[in-house]
Amino acid sequence: MSIHVTSVSKSYKNQKALDDISFSVKKGEIIGFLGPNGAGKSTMMKILTGFIKPDSGTVLVDEIDVLDTPIESQKNIGYLPEHNPLYAEMYVREYLQFRAHIYKVDKSQIEHYIEKVGLTAEAHKKINQLSKGYQQRVGIAAAILHNPSVLILDEPTTGLDPNQLVAIRALIKDLGTEKTILLSTHIMQEVEAICDTVIIVNKGKIVANETLSNLQKNTHQILSVQFDKPISEADFNSLSNIKSTLKKGDSWVVTFNSKEDMRPKLFDFAKDKGLKILELSSEQEQLEDLFRKITS
Ligand code: ADP
């Protein structure tokens, strides 16, 4: 395991930010740490990177205990904090040289990382002359200069315009071919665009930890059906596991509280009622809707 978190809790005075959190991340995975604002994401990221200590629990990154040996474990961790604190008055190369010095990285490596994050054309500029998207690239370059195996990115695309967003997501995906990545976000589409697996947190607790495909499978089943004759909502009462029904044009969108394939039941239902099915299709529940349901 690249990351192994066991029973981590953290309170700020009376405010419980993390409540008995446990999860693991396999080597080479890109995991989305998803939750609404205030869910505890940044607190978890700061604990993972050794910046703050939890009240209880253990954290291993690449088998090294972050709480006992933070300096040792930080060699394996690259961290892009929320709001990416950079020295705005510094030139890009100057800043990366400064960071290389802190991490005792040979300065000859800097050009390699400038190229890797797509900063070559901007590297002669001052950081405050760069767009937000390029500033994020500087932050990411600084985070990977010491070639860590694990990358922790706290809300890496917040405040980017749509083009920058696509470019930074592509860069993160590319870095994910070499590194284990845990990124926090409050946007489900971000997870869908980048991640293999999602951990959903709400009010300091994990409420889901699934691959995206499993998350989709484990949700309700939604069927859209068109009959040859009009029927009323009450007619559906004879069907089992119905969660909701909605009339949409000539069709009915029926949501079932069941993972079992409900299509045969719907055919039986039509036969019993003397109806013919003109159209039947399965709809995926949007992950965004699911996220809102889980965390509302
Ligand atoms: P997220 O990153 O998901 O928005 P945070 O980890 O920043 O969530 O915050 C979790 C909870 O802890 C929130 O209720 C927040 O107000 C509280 N919190 C975070 N940092 C501090 C702090 N330094 N002092 C007091 N409360 C804090």
What pLDDT does 273 receive?
A: 93
What pLDDT does 220 receive?
A: 75
- Distance (Å) from CA 40 to ligand 1 centroid: 6
Q: Return the amino acid letter for 68.
A: D
Q: Is 40 in the pocket of ligand 1 (CB under 6 A)?
A: yes
Nearest CA to ligand 1 atom 14: 38
The arithmetic mean of pLDDT across residues 234-257, rounded, is: 90
Q: What is the DSSP string of 130-183?
A: S-HHHHHHHHHHHHHTT--SEEEEESTTTT--HHHHHHHHHHHHHHTTTSEEEE
Q: Is 38 in the pocket of ligand 1 (CB under 6 A)?
A: yes
pLDDT in tens, 265-288: 999 999 999 999 999 998 766 777
| Ligand 1 pocket mutation, candidates 8, 42, 186, 207, criterion most atoms within 8 A of CB | 42
Lowest mean pLDDT among 57-61, 162-166, 291-295: 291-295
What pLDDT does 260 receive?
A: 78
Answer whether residue 132 shows pLDDT above 70: yes
Answer whether residue 84 shows pLDDT above 90: no
What pLDDT does 41 receive?
A: 95
Given a contact cutoff of 8 angstroms between Cβ atoms, the answer to whether 114 and 93 are in contact is: yes
Long-range contacts of 211-217 (CB under 8 A, 24+ apart): 212/287, 215/287, 215/290, 216/284, 216/285, 216/287, 216/290, 217/259
What pLDDT does 241 receive?
A: 87
Q: Mean pLDDT over all residues of the chain?
A: 91
Q: Return the amino acid letter for 67.
A: L
The arithmetic mean of pLDDT across residues 75-86, rounded, is: 89
- Distance (Å) from CA 42 to ligand 1 centroid: 7
The arithmetic mean of pLDDT across residues 3-15, rounded, is: 96
Nearest CA to ligand 1 atom 25: 12
pLDDT in tens, 196-210: 999 999 999 999 999
What pLDDT does 261 receive?
A: 85
Band (pLDDT 50/70/90 cuts) for residue 219 is low
Q: Is 81 in the pocket of ligand 1 (CB under 6 A)?
A: no
Residue 147 token pair: 């070639």
Closest by CA position to 12, among listed 71, 50, 54, 75: 54
Q: Is 28 in the pocket of ligand 1 (CB under 6 A)?
A: no
